[in-house]
């Protein structure tokens, strides 16, 4: 066991993670491959990460005894999702290095604080207004409609979001939310969505992956494309520069994903940030020489950050629980994995979740190849075999 603050933390030590979902599972796999032991704290006794980790602490995230057990096992601690209580991270940071810091997590948990941070960093957001009171609701300016009303807290994968066209719909939507704090964002002429994943060390060094072009369906990421022609270079570089500004403004340590909207006029506005590895970065496990999860290990352990290199064009397809019910039967039926795996360049990742449910992230496919044309062709065929919507050709080619 290292002393708090002793860095780097070398292989043979134990790395801890709050959260037992698929991101924690893939972090554990990356850490174990590099020679670390892992400890997971999660309230689900059957959590995907807990099932593959050396230690699984079955505990609530705010349980003091559970946190003490984690601190006793782990030499450093990270998190796999942003809704872990920030005070729990503060509690752990007294005894062990923790990254990202509780202060960064707290900002990511609150859209109001998050947008204020983006503004401080000089990164433009969509025009918006904060709604915490009936008076603020009544004072909304007309130019913000039509818009999207988003709850300030606990919104992800499209949850806590309602489109509104009129003032009457806005009032109804805010009341339906329980009159909790919200932000109203103006709807803008969206061209496409993209994201940047970076890693920032304690010394301020930043490395990043290429900008990723994303397609969402029903608020959930469906397809990510990463190749030289996925978007104009000026847009990609602008997204990278903005993501770096956001990370530097936080004094961030760890892996950070920043999501953007690219507008029809070629400009960018920031949507939100995720203080962790991200669904849109799963392709890095096959298409890059360093994955986002290895960079998470490196930032946590204080190891050098090697700039990642993408060696293959890649398309990632998200696999939701709906795929187990495409035949119309009540009981889940396994998708056509054998047919899909017969395609070249297909990499299947299933997350170890026992029960498939519609809308639940069960896994993903990454498709890589020597040429963009072959990757697109195989992605289209895989989507057809699985009953997914067609993979549309996007980008500059």
For position 152, which CATH number holds?
3.30.1490.20
Q: Please tell me whether residues 361 and 280 are part of one structural domain.
A: yes
DSSP code for 363? E
- % of the chain at pLDDT higher than 90: 91
Please indicate, yes or no, if residue 9 is contained in any of the structural domains.
no
Q: Please tell me whether residues 222 and 368 are part of one structural domain.
A: yes
Q: 287: buried, middle or exposed (CB in 10 Å: 19+, 13-18, 0-12)? A: buried
The answer to whether 284 touches 332, Cβ cutoff 8 Å, is no
Q: Please tell me whether residues 79 and 175 are part of one structural domain.
A: no
CATH of the domain at 60: 3.40.50.20
Q: Please tell me whether residues 249 and 366 are part of one structural domain.
A: yes
Higher pLDDT, 159 or 338: 338
Whole-number Å distance between alpha carbons of 158 and 222: 12
Please indicate, yes or no, if residue 105 is contained in any of the structural domains.
no
Among candidate residues 186, 202, 225, the one where a domain is terminated? 186
Please indicate, yes or no, if residue 117 is contained in any of the structural domains.
no
Q: How many residues does the chain have?
A: 397
Residue in this structure with the two tokens 């066991």, named with its chain if needed: 1
The model's pLDDT over 333-378, given as tens digits with 9 standing for 90+, comes to: 999 999 999 999 999 999 999 899 999 999 999 999 999 999 999 9
> Could you tell me the sign of the dihedral formed by the alpha carbons of 52, 58, 63, 64, in that order?
negative
Residue in this structure with the two tokens 């990278």, named with its chain if needed: 240
pTM of the complete model beyond 0.85: yes
Q: Please tell me whether residues 88 and 61 are part of one structural domain.
A: yes
On the question of pLDDT at 281 being above 70, the answer is yes
Q: How confident is the model at residue 156 (pLDDT cuts 50, 70, 90)?
A: low
The tokens of 7 are what? Answer: 């860095």
Among candidate residues 186, 206, 231, the one where a domain is terminated? 186
Q: Please tell me whether residues 210 and 350 are part of one structural domain.
A: yes
Please indicate, yes or no, if residue 248 is contained in any of the structural domains.
yes
The SS3 call for residue 170 is helix
On the question of pLDDT at 395 being above 80, the answer is no
Please indicate, yes or no, if residue 113 is contained in any of the structural domains.
no
Please indicate, yes or no, if residue 28 is contained in any of the structural domains.
yes
Q: Please tell me whether residues 157 and 83 are part of one structural domain.
A: no
CATH of the domain at 320: 3.30.470.20
Domain range holding 169? Answer: 127-186
pLDDT at 160: 81
DSSP code for 98? B
On the question of pLDDT at 154 being above 80, the answer is no
Q: Residue 223's beta-bridge partner residues? A: 215, 317
DSSP code for 292? H
The answer to whether 126 touches 188, Cβ cutoff 8 Å, is yes
Q: Please tell me whether residues 175 and 240 are part of one structural domain.
A: no
Identify the helix (H) or strand (E) that includes residue 226: strand 220-226
Q: Please tell me whether residues 56 and 197 are part of one structural domain.
A: no
Number of domains in the chain: 3
Q: Please tell me whether residues 367 and 236 are part of one structural domain.
A: yes
Q: How confident is the model at residue 180 (pLDDT cuts 50, 70, 90)?
A: very high
Residue among 283, 318, 308 at smallest CA distance from 198: 308
The model's pLDDT over 229-275, given as tens digits with 9 standing for 90+, comes to: 999 999 999 999 999 999 999 999 999 999 999 999 999 999 999 99
Please indicate, yes or no, if residue 116 is contained in any of the structural domains.
no
Q: Please tell me whether residues 147 and 198 are part of one structural domain.
A: no
pLDDT at 6: 75
Would you give the end-to-end CA distance of the chain in angstroms? 52
Residue among 132, 128, 126 at smallest CA distance from 174: 132
SS3 content of the chain, % helix, strand, coil (to 5): 35, 25, 40
Q: Please tell me whether residues 201 and 152 are part of one structural domain.
A: no
Whole-number Å distance between alpha carbons of 255 and 278: 9
Please indicate, yes or no, if residue 111 is contained in any of the structural domains.
no
For 101-169, give the secondary structure using H, E and C. Answer: CHHHHHHHCCHHHHHHHHHHCCCCECCEEEECCHHHHHCCCHHHCCEEEEECCCCCCCCCEEEECCHHH
Among candidate residues 167, 186, 205, the one where a domain is terminated? 186
- % of the chain at pLDDT higher than 70: 97
Instruction: State yes or no: cis peptide before 146, omega within 30 of 0.
Output: yes
pLDDT at 157: 56
- Is residue 179 left, alpha or beta, with left meaning phi > 0 and alpha meaning psi from -120 to 50? left
Whole-number Å distance between alpha carbons of 50 and 71: 16
Question: Which string of DSSP letters, residue by residue, matches 219-274?
Answer: TEEEEEEESTTSS-HHHHHHHHHHHHHHHHHHT--EEEEEEEEEETTS-EEEEEEE
């Amino acid at each position: 066991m290292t002393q708090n603050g002793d860095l780097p933390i070398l292989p043979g030590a134990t790395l801890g993670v709050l959260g037992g979902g698929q991101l924690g599972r893939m972090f554990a796999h990356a850490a174990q491959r590099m020679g670390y032991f892992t400890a997971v704290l999660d309230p689900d006794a059957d959590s995907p990460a807990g099932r593959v980790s050396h230690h699984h602490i079955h505990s609530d995230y705010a349980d003091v005894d559970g946190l003490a057990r984690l601190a006793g096992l782990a030499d450093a601690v990270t998190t796999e999702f942003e809704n872990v209580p920030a005070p729990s991270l503060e509690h752990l940071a007294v005894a062990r290095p923790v990254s990202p810091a509780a202060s960064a997590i707290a900002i990511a948990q609150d859209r109001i604080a998050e947008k204020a941070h983006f503004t401080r960093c000089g990164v433009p957001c969509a025009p918006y207004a904060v709604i915490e009171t009936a008076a603020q609701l009544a004072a909304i300016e007309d130019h913000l409609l039509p818009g999207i009303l988003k709850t300030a807290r606990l919104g992800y994968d499209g949850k806590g979001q309602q489109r509104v066209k009129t003032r009457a719909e806005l009032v109804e939507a805010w009341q339906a939310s329980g009159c909790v704090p919200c932000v109203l964002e103006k709807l803008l002429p969206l061209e496409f969505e993209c994201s940047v994943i970076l890693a920032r060390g304690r010394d301020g060094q930043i490395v990043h992956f290429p900008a990723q072009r994303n397609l969402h369906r029903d608020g959930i990421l469906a397809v990510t494309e990463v190749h030289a022609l996925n978007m104009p270079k000026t847009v990609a570089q602008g997204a990278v520069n903005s993501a770096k500004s956001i990370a530097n403004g936080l004094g961030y340590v760890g892996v950070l994903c920043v999501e953007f909207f690219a507008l029809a006029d070629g400009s960018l506005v920031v949507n939100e940030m995720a203080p962790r590895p991200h669904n849109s970065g799963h392709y890095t496990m096959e298409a890059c020489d360093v994955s986002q999860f290895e960079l998470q290990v490196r930032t946590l352990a204080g190891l050098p950050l090697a700039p990642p290199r993408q060696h293959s064009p890649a398309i990632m397809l998200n696999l939701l629980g709906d795929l187990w019910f495409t035949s119309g039967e009540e009981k889940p039926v396994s998708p056509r994995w054998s047919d899909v795996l017969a395609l070249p360049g297909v990499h299947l990742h299933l997350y170890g979740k026992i029960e498939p449910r519609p809308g639940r992230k069960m896994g993903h496919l990454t498709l890589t190849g020597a040429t963009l044309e072959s990757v697109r062709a195989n992605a289209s065929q895989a989507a057809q075999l699985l009953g997914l919507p067609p993979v549309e050709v996007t980008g500059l080619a």
